[in-house]
Each structure stands twice: as structure tokens, then as C-alpha cells.
Structure 1
């Protein structure tokens, strides 16, 4: 524990994340209503799927009950971990055109929040074991690298990107101009000191054609020579990634970890990470492989944003000289705390969560 405690208590570094921004409107789906004030929700995603399939030839009428309206997307959900650890990350994205939307209020003090326009809206149907997200992407989809440059100007861009330790970019599948953003971010370091690492989240790989996917990977491989790249996927994205490279996706962490190495080499990047509800794993060019088991969490109150929170924990852990296993343990602790508290852990809470972990 001493290595974790020492790292967390002395963590430092400059983090810059871009370039999305979503407001999540989260609902439960009613299964049975007992009265005006009492109802039983559909808490199992599989049960909901089976209901839809069962009524596929007719129609489905469902009641939804609002749970919360909150921030969503890569930048706020990933940046929240860094903010709670006292790093004050720079978040660039869509948080409100004329004023910051109330959904992002929590980030105004503990982050450098820079808004380029109004956020997109995501309808989230939350279950105990997962969620369904449906996004109206117009504002995010229309944001381009040219818009980004025009908004800041060259002088402010240079200042913002100067001395950054970790760059983060998401989501590839939801941002049509992602490749230009990726190249634009890296271009800020021509002839200058580059960040330690660039971190990105592809999100739903299935949404893009294989041709588009491979074109993006080719760009990432080339840019990896300038800045070491870390790509993170969840279990569903991981299975799709394995499939596209004809690598068998097996459920055990040991076999998945070995498969990550084969994939990382085929893609040509420095680091490849996968996070699932049961384990997390990574393969790194310099360090080899590692995995950490994730404890099953009881009393889960929020799942939307769990993957981004893992990424935030791993991204922060990458600021130090920790091993793969140690980085994964910190990221797992951030996730475990988030799904049971609906927020990120402070330094003290992070340390306490790591102490609870059965695999550390």
C-alpha cells in the first residue's frame, strides 16, 4: 500500500482533455407500478432485451421515470477523477454556449473548463447491470478541428498545450472529425517537448466502417512515434477489436492479456488497455503485460460513466512510475468508488478503496 499512498498523496501533472460534452438525461424503465408513488423498475438489461424481442412483432409501451440530469461524455467523466485528486485538468468541449450548463456546475471550480458551444444530449436508460445510451449528436458531430483552432487562436493554443503531461481525446466513434483532432493535437508539439502520453477512447467501434477504422489506426500508428499512445476499450469494444484483427477473444484475463499484446503489435501503438466489470488488463511496449481482478460491487447506484472513470483513474496513474498492475489497481478503485457513490474519490477515498481491493 505504501507505493499507492505515496503516489496518490504527491500526484502532480498537467492534463488536457478534449473535445466532447454531453448532458445525460437518465431514466429508469418501469416494470410494474404498485401505486402513484411506488413502482418496480426493470433492473436487468437482459430482461429488457428479452421483453423487446418477445414483442418484436407488435409494439412495446413503457413508462419511464427520470433519475437525474447530469454531465456526460469523455471529458467530464474522465476529467472528474483528476479533478478530485487535485490536479485541476483542462477540459475543452461543449458545456454551454452563453453560460455553463448546470449539468457541468461541479467542474467550474476544480477544472479549467473551456466551452466551445452547447452540449449534445444523451438519453440514458440505466439498469443494475448496464445501460442503454441514445445520443442526439449534432453539436458534437459538427465540431471540427478548424472550429477548435479558430476558437482559441494560435497564441492561446500554444499556451494551453504547453507543458502538458497527458493528452486525452474521445470519442472516436461519435466525432466525425476525430482524425483531424488527433493530428491537430499532436501537431502542437512540432519542435517542442511532447507529453508523456496521449490517451484516447474509441467508444463504439461497430459504428464505423472497417475502412474508416483502419485509416484511423494508421494515423495513430504514425503519431505513436511522436507521442506514446494508449488506447482503452471496454469488453464489448475489445471483442470487436479482437474480431477485426482475427484474434480469438477468450474470457479469462490471462488469455485476453496475451491477445492484447498481439493486437497492440498489429496496431503499432505503445499501450492497449481493456476494462471489464470483472478484470482489467493492459499490454505495454516497454513493460509487457499485466492484469488486475475487479471485485464485484454491491449496492451499485450508477453505471453510466463507469468506463470513463476507469480511464480517468488509469490516465492519472500514468503520471507516475507505477507498474501496469498498480495503474490498473488505481483505475479499478476509481471505478468501484464511482459505481457505488456516483462520483469520483478524493485522495483519502481512493486510498481506502484500494485497501478494500482483494487484488492489489
Structure 2
């Protein structure tokens, strides 16, 4: 575990404002904001210093692999069969067609056809096991970590075992859900049948895995990864049960409790408040360090719920949002990641790190999970400071969106060696 960022003493619970019952309306603002470079006057951009120190630390690939191979992570509790598609805008022949590049192009076609009907052709890009648990397990396992994957993965089904590292230990709760993902250069639309994921409860976990077995997995773990909160209806109740029935049986060694909430637009502010209170309670468990990781849309959604921090209304607000929310939040750290940057904030500091952005990503589904995997393994290793962890996280997701491949240590290290080139120019392929 990282030793330079000591645990802070928890104070009062986070203060929220209950504005609208649901958080959905915040998304339109995120879509309309244009990127604005980080203002130098804020003084928190540590990209190039962090990059140089990371380059030195990853230069010995063997030593890094030896450290990563010792990391044990338990992740869950979802699981889906993901089918990723491009949509066809024009076809001139079997092999000659153009795809829709933007979400607005797809949206306009749907809106313009209202009152009638239309056909939209989809072209399969990838069929793969997905969800927070499988995706972050793929990212972490490819980098060498040892993984216990709890989730809706079937027996496990071939779609998972064929696409995840062979070192993954599967602990199945049920059959998977299913997602049809429509991918564009500027985002994606996830059409999901949650099915069995809706029925994941503490009782099911106890039935399929058992309390003692779960305690054993958590006891060995350097980190526990949880997601996607907004899409797993009973996760608040599961965490509450763990606080009462599982965590008291763990020793006090430091563990990261890493959470990706996912798109919270369909969840109420009341649900969100309950989640944050659960995370604050987990952060008070001796040894637990709660890290909440948000993408740009989720950061807007969370900022709307705070009574003091102010909603993210302009792009520049992203750069202060983490620090403002951490003034009230009693967790270890808050991460905000965007295609252009990542920030990580604790009670003491906020760091900003530029990303190698491209306007032409090949794959976007699971990009956030690869960011999270890079961040989690870096922080759990104890080798990297928070700002350095953002370099690894950015590199992991930047490599993935250009290739659709989870990078191993050699690929990640090579990308980091050329990191500045990807920041300075819009490169849509690996150089």
C-alpha cells in the first residue's frame, strides 16, 4: 500500500442537498461542455514530473512484474455478456460501408424518425465477458495481479474464461446479464438486460460462496474492487451486511476498498446518500481505505448532490471538483477521470495528470474499467504515489481504447515511455 498519503481522521458525515429526486438531468450539461485546458494558475498539474518518476519505476519490468504478481485483489459482483457494435450510416457494398461516428448522428436519426420507424444496421466488433468485475479482473490479471472474481459469470461460461487471464479464480453467483453496446467516437450507448444481476443479494452471496469463504478471500486481499453500484440494486444492503458480518473478522492490515458507481442517473439522491454513508462507514473500518472513482459524467452527478461544493457547470469546474467534494467526504480519496485528464484528491492534496486523448478510439466499452485497473494496481503495489498512479491508469485506458487489448507490463511500460507523444498529438494508434 502507498505509504506517503496517511489515513486522515474521519469527521462529520457528508452533507448532501436533495434537489431533484433523480440525477438524470445532469448528463446533458456534461455533453455540452467543451474541453478547456487546465489553468496553470491552479498549480496542481504534475503530469511531467509524475511521468518521469513513473518511467524510472517501470524501467525494470522484471522487478515491477514481481511486485504486481504479489498483489491479491477480490472484485465483483456483476457480470454480463457484452456485444459491442458500430452502427452503419451508409453502405455501398458488402465490404464498403461507413459507420456513425457520433452519438448525435444516431440520436438525430432516431428523433427524425419519431412517429414512424427506421432500421439501423449494427456491425459486431467484439463479443466478450463484461461488467465491472470481469473487466477490471481482465485489466488487473493481465498486469499480473492475482484475482478472486465474484460475479454473474455462469459456470463460468466460455465468454469469460476465453477472454480473461487463466489465473482468475471464479466464484459464480448466477448466469450473466447481457449488454448490447453501441460505440461511437464520442461515447457509447449501453442497452442492458440486467436479469440475474438485479437478484444479487447478501443472501445469494452467502448461499453460493459462504460467509467464511468470503472472509478468507477478503483476508488475503490487498484490495477489494466493487462496481457498478448504480446498476446492482442491492449493493448498499450487501455492504451494510459486510460491515456487520464480514469486516469485523478481518485483521487490520491496510486494504483498498475501490468503488466505481457507474452512471447514477436512474438512482435517487436518497440512494446516493445511502451509498456515501456506507462508504464513509467502510472507511472507518480499521485498515480500510475507500477510493471512489468517477468518470466525467458521474462527477457531475455526484457534485449535484452536495450542499456546498457546487455543481460542475463549466469544464474548469472539473479541476476543483475533487478537492471541493473531499472537504466533506470522509473517504480516503476521490478520483475523477476524463478522456483528457485524471485527478485524484485526498483531504490533503489534489493532483492533475494529462491524458493521451484521441478523437478516434477503437473501443470505449470497458475503457473506464481499464483506467480503474491501472489505478488500483498502482496504488495497491505501494510503489507509486497518487499522481504516479494516475499516469499508470491513464496509460492503461489509453492503450485499451486504441487497441481493444488489455496491456501487459511490457505494453504498458512501452506506452509510458512514449506517453508525452500521445499527449502532444492526437494519435489514434500505438506508435
For normalisation by structure 1, the TM-score amounts to: 0.92
The 1-side partners of 2:101 and 2:373 are apart by 27
What per-residue deviation string (whole Å, max 9, x for no partner) do you get for residues 83-108 of structure 1?
111112111111114x5233442326
Report deviation, 1:251: 5.0
Partner residue, 2:56: 2
Aligned to 2:323: 261
CA shift, 1:54, in A, is 3.0
Structure 2 CA distance for aligned equivalents of residues 311 and 329 of structure 1: 12
Hey, what's the Cα distance between the residues in 2 that align with 1:324 and 1:4?
Answer: 15
Q: 1:284, 1:96 → 2: CA distance?
A: 38
* 2:361 corresponds to 1:300: yes
CA distance in 2 between partners of 1:37 and 1:343 (Å): 24
SS at match of 1:249: coil
Task: Select the residue among 29, 45, 51 that pairs with 2:109.
Answer: 51
Runs of 4+ deviating beyond 4 Å? 250-253
Taking a change above 3 Å as real, the CA distance of residues 5 and 207 of structure 1, as seen in their structure-2 partners, is farther
Give the direction of change, closer, same or farther, for the CA distance of 1:244–1:294 in structure 2 (3 Å limit).
same
For residues 307 and 239 of structure 1, the distance between their equivalents in structure 2, rounded to whole angstroms, comes to: 16
In the TM superposition, residue 224 of structure 1 has moved relative to its aligned partner by: 1.2
What are the residue-to-residue correspondences of 1:74-85 with 2, within 5 Å?
Answer: 74-85=132-143
Deviates more, 1:99-108 or 1:293-302: 99-108
**Whole-angstrom CA distance in 1 between matches of 2:102 and 2:360:** 14
Q: 2:339 aligns with which of 277, 284, 306?
A: 277
Secondary structure at 2:137 match in 1: helix
Q: Whole-Å Cα distance in 2 between the matches of residues 330 and 311 of structure 1?
A: 10
User: Following the alignment from structure 1 to structure 2, what is the Cα–Cα distance between the partners of residues 106 and 26?
Assistant: 14
Q: Distance in 2 between matches of 1:163 and 1:189?
A: 13
Q: SS at the partner of 1:300? A: coil
Alignment of 1:199-348 (within 5 A): 199-226=258-285, 227-245=288-306, 247-249=310-312, 252=315, 255-285=317-347, 287-297=348-358, 300-319=361-380, 320-348=382-410
SS of residue in 1 equivalent to 2:327: helix
* Contact 2:379–2:386, Cα closer than 8 Å, also in 1: no
- The secondary structure found in structure 2 opposite 1:28 is strand
Question: Equivalent residue for 2:31?
Answer: none
The secondary structure found in structure 2 opposite 1:237 is: helix
Higher relative contact order (CA 8 A, sep 6+): 2
Aligned ranges 1:87-126 → 2 under 5 Å? 87-97=145-155, 99-107=156-164, 109-126=166-183
**Does structure 2 retain, via aligned residues, the 8 Å contact 1:257–1:282?**
no
List per-residue Cα deviations over 1:37-81 (Å, max 9, x = no partner).
Answer: 322111212222232233334433212222221111001111112
- Alignment pair present for 1:147 and 2:209: no
Distance 1:180 1:101 in 2: 31
User: Which residue does the alignment assign to 1:38?
Assistant: 96
Please give the secondary structure, in 1, of the residue aligned with 2:224.
strand
DSSP-derived class of the 1:223 partner:
helix
Range with greater deviation from structure 2 (48-57 or 145-154): 48-57
**Residues in 1 aligned to 2:100 and 2:359: alpha-carbon distance in whole angstroms:** 17
Farther off after superposition, 313-322 or 191-200: 191-200
Report the secondary structure of 1:132's partner residue: strand
TM-score normalized by structure 2? 0.78
- What are the residue-to-residue correspondences of 1:59-74 with 2, within 5 Å? 59-74=117-132
The residue that corresponds to 2:414 in the other structure is 352
Q: Show structure 1 runs of 5+ residues with no match.
A: none
Determine the C-alpha separation between the residues in 2 that align with 1:154 and 1:130. Answer: 39
The 1:196–1:160 alpha-carbon spacing in structure 2 relative to 1, beyond 3 Å, is: closer
With over 3 angstroms needed to count, the CA separation of the structure-2 counterparts of 1:114 and 1:329, relative to structure 1, is same
Q: Distance in 1 between matches of 2:377 and 2:165?
A: 20
Structure 2, unpaired ranges of 5+: 1-54, 425-431
Q: Is the 8 A contact 2:128 2:163 kept in 1?
A: no
